[in-house]
């Protein structure tokens, strides 16, 4: 029996209606930017396996660092102990994070990094004797699938069964250069009628919404407003972190820095699940007290797993290297050229790119998980490229180590696909 057949017996996949989509392709190997399936077919991983393995799959430097760490210290409880990989990772992260960040809190995945950020904000005010219960978030944002993260997410088409159990969230549109005054008016109304605990946002680009970009100046105005109102801001950089936007973090483009930052995905270079919620000294200080219950009692068993920390440290070392920084620059330039080549195609509505992320919206209407999407996905896979359309958006988020030849193939396959829509 093939892996694909054996899979169907006991496995339940995420984001899948198994009655309509019973098959899952079995991947047996990944190296650099190439995935190999059980029949020996190869695919360029043009979305870096959900934006994780930005230094390439099975990167020798990272796997070697992880292997060394595994032989030294595999795991130990972080509530009671500390260790070199966690200490070193905190030092390295603080060096590259926005300058107001000072404390590093460990989580297991992007959703729980957001969950912890939300809980930090609620307890920050609670510890100061204030009860605040409402969050503000962008329309169409995505922040994860646990209850808090699901609540602040604005992409709720598939969240029907849970809607009655979500926390209270008010939504604002993303800034587009002309609507900032309108947004500020909305914010003032929200703030005078509710106890707002925080504003959570994907800075500059909303991933799951279809790589939708927004305007940095408007976002800065919004963040400044919250700062003046003493309302905490939470940047969800789970997707944008670690070089995707051309800077280490998307927040680097914006003058007003967030109080809390959520990180995951490329944090561990696609090797081991881990996430981090970082915060300012001011946020941390609200949890210091002679009263034990004012501490932050949110914990995951595998917090600060040393092996995951080793992967993260190696990833940051690579991110800072000349080779990777050059790779990012090369991809950004290639995206510009590609954009000029296709932007006037009759089947394209709009194109955009930020850092190594490139996206185009098709003129056609397309369901998020509908027939045209399936047809495109199949076309891409048959052509040897793994691309995963979102709504009517086709987007690229390639590993920084992609070769010129591989990148040109990704572009070509997208151009060819434009003829079948």
Ligand X SMILES: *Cc1c(COP(=O)(O)O)cnc(C)c1O
Q: Which residues are annotated as a binding site for substrate?
A: 50, 265, 388
**Which residues contribute to the annotated binding site for pyridoxal 5'-phosphate?**
110-111, 236, 300-301
Q: Is 143 in the site for ligand X (CB under 6 A)?
A: yes
Q: Is 109 in the site for ligand X (CB under 6 A)?
A: yes
Q: Is 106 in the site for ligand X (CB under 6 A)?
A: no
Q: Is 236 in the site for ligand X (CB under 6 A)?
A: yes
Q: Is 151 in the site for ligand X (CB under 6 A)?
A: no
Stretch in the footprint of ligand X (CB under 6 A) among 54-62, 106-114, 309-317, 361-369: 106-114
Task: State the nearest-atom distance from the C-beta of 207 to ligand X, in Å.
Answer: 4
Q: Is 144 in the site for ligand X (CB under 6 A)?
A: yes
Which is nearer to ligand X, 398 or 417 (by Cβ)? 398
Q: Is 210 in the site for ligand X (CB under 6 A)?
A: no
Q: For residue 115, what are its two tokens? A: 């969950």
- 136 and 187 Cβ atoms separated by less than 8 Å: yes
Stretch in the footprint of ligand X (CB under 6 A) among 86-94, 123-131, 137-145, 351-359: 137-145
Q: For residue 258, what are its two tokens? A: 């967030």
Query: For residue 142, which of 365, 366, 390 has the smallest C-alpha distance?
Result: 390
- 313 and 65 Cβ atoms separated by less than 8 Å: yes
Q: How many residues form the binding site for ligand X (CB under 6 A)?
A: 14
Q: Is 239 in the site for ligand X (CB under 6 A)?
A: yes
Task: State the nearest-atom distance from the C-beta of 146 to ligand X, in Å.
Answer: 7
Query: For residue 201, which of 183, 188, 218, 219 has the smallest C-alpha distance?
Result: 219
Burial letters for 192-209: b for 16+ Cβ neighbours within 10 Å, e otherwise? eeeebbbbbbbbbbbbbb
Q: By CB under 6 A, name the one of 45, 92, 115, 202 that touches ligand X.
A: 202
Q: By CB under 6 A, name the one of 107, 111, 140, 251 that touches ligand X.
A: 111
Task: State the nearest-atom distance from the C-beta of 202 to ligand X, in Å.
Answer: 5
Which is nearer to ligand X, 101 or 111 (by Cβ)? 111
Q: How far is CA 212 from CA 180, 182, 358, 361, in A?
A: 17, 20, 10, 10
- Give residues 240-269 in contact with ligand X (rule: CB under 6 A): 264-265
Q: How far is CA 125 from CA 114, 261, 297, in A?
A: 17, 18, 15
Q: Is 238 in the site for ligand X (CB under 6 A)?
A: yes
**Which residues contribute to the annotated binding site?**
50, 110-111, 236, 265, 300-301, 388
Task: State the nearest-atom distance from the C-beta of 48 to ligand X, in Å.
Answer: 12
Q: Is 98 in the site for ligand X (CB under 6 A)?
A: no
Stretch in the footprint of ligand X (CB under 6 A) among 60-68, 232-240, 287-295, 315-323: 232-240
Q: What angle do CA 140, 141, 147 make, to 5 degrees?
A: 110
Stretch in the footprint of ligand X (CB under 6 A) among 91-99, 138-146, 360-368, 395-403: 138-146
Q: Is 270 in the site for ligand X (CB under 6 A)?
A: no
Q: How far is CA 75 from CA 110, 113, 309, 405, in A?
A: 21, 20, 11, 41
Q: For residue 312, what are its two tokens? A: 């993260």
Query: For residue 60, which of 330, 241, 386, 311 has the smallest C-alpha distance?
Result: 311
Residue 172, helix vs strand vs coil: strand
- 206 and 140 Cβ atoms separated by less than 8 Å: yes
Q: Is 45 in the site for ligand X (CB under 6 A)?
A: no
Q: Is 148 in the site for ligand X (CB under 6 A)?
A: no
Q: Is 315 in the site for ligand X (CB under 6 A)?
A: no
Q: By CB under 6 A, name the one of 114, 235, 318, 331 that touches ligand X.
A: 114
Q: How far is CA 258 from CA 54, 138, 262, 270, 368, in A?
A: 24, 15, 10, 25, 31
To the nearest 10°, report the CA torsion of 21, 23, 26, 30. Answer: -20
Query: For residue 271, which of 28, 14, 52, 93 has the smallest C-alpha distance?
Result: 52
Which is nearer to ligand X, 117 or 175 (by Cβ)? 117
Q: Which positions lie near ligand X, rule CB under 6 A?
A: 109-111, 114, 142-144, 202, 207, 236, 238-239, 264-265
């Amino acid at each position: 029996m093939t892996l694909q057949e054996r899979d169907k017996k006991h496995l339940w996949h995420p984001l899948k209606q198994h009655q309509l989509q019973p098959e899952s392709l079995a991947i047996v190997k990944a190296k650099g930017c190439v995935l190999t399936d059980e029949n020996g077919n190869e695919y360029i991983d043009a979305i870096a396996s959900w934006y994780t393995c930005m230094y390439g799959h099975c990167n020798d430097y990272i796997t070697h660092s992880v292997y060394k760490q595994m032989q030294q210290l595999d795991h130990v409880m972080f509530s009671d102990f500390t260790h070199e990989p966690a200490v070193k990772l905190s030092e390295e992260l603080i060096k590259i994070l926005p300058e107001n960040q000072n404390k590093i809190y460990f989580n297991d995945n992007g959703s729980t990094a957001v969950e912890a950020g939300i809980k930090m904000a609620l307890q920050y005010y609670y510890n100061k004797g204030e009860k605040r219960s409402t969050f503000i978030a962008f329309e169409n944002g995505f922040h994860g699938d646990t209850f808090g993260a699901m609540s602040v997410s604005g992409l709720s088409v598939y969240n029907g069964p849970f809607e009655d159990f979500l926390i209270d969230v008010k939504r604002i549109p993303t800034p587009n250069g002309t609507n900032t005054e309108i947004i500020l008016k909305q914010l003032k109304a929200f703030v005078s009628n509710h106890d707002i605990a925080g504003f959570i946002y994907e800075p500059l680009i909303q991933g799951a919404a279809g790589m939708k970009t927004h305007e940095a100046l408007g976002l800065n105005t919004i963040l400044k407003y919250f700062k003046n109102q003493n309302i905490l801001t939470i940047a969800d950089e789970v997707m944008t972190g670690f070089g995707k936007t051309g800077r280490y973090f998307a927040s680097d483009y914006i003058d007003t820095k967030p109080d809390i930052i959520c990180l995951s995905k490329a944090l561990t270079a696609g090797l081991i699940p881990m996430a981090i919620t970082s915060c300012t000294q001011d946020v941390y200080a609200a949890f210091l007290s002679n009263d034990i219950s004012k501490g932050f009692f949110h914990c995951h068993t595998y917090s600060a797993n040393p092996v995951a920390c080793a992967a993260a440290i190696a990833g940051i070392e690579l991110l800072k290297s000349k080779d990777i920084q050059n790779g990012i620059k090369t991809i950004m330039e290639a995206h510009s050229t590609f954009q000029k080549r296709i932007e006037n195609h009759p089947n394209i509505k709009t194109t955009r790119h930020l850092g190594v992320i490139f996206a185009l919206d098709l003129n056609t209407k397309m369901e998020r998980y509908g027939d045209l999407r399936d047809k495109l996905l199949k076309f891409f896979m048959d052509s040897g490229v793994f691309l995963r359309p979102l709504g009517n958006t086709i987007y690229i988020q390639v590993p920084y180590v992609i070769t010129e030849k591989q990148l040109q193939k990704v572009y070509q396959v997208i151009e060819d696909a434009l003829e079948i829509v």
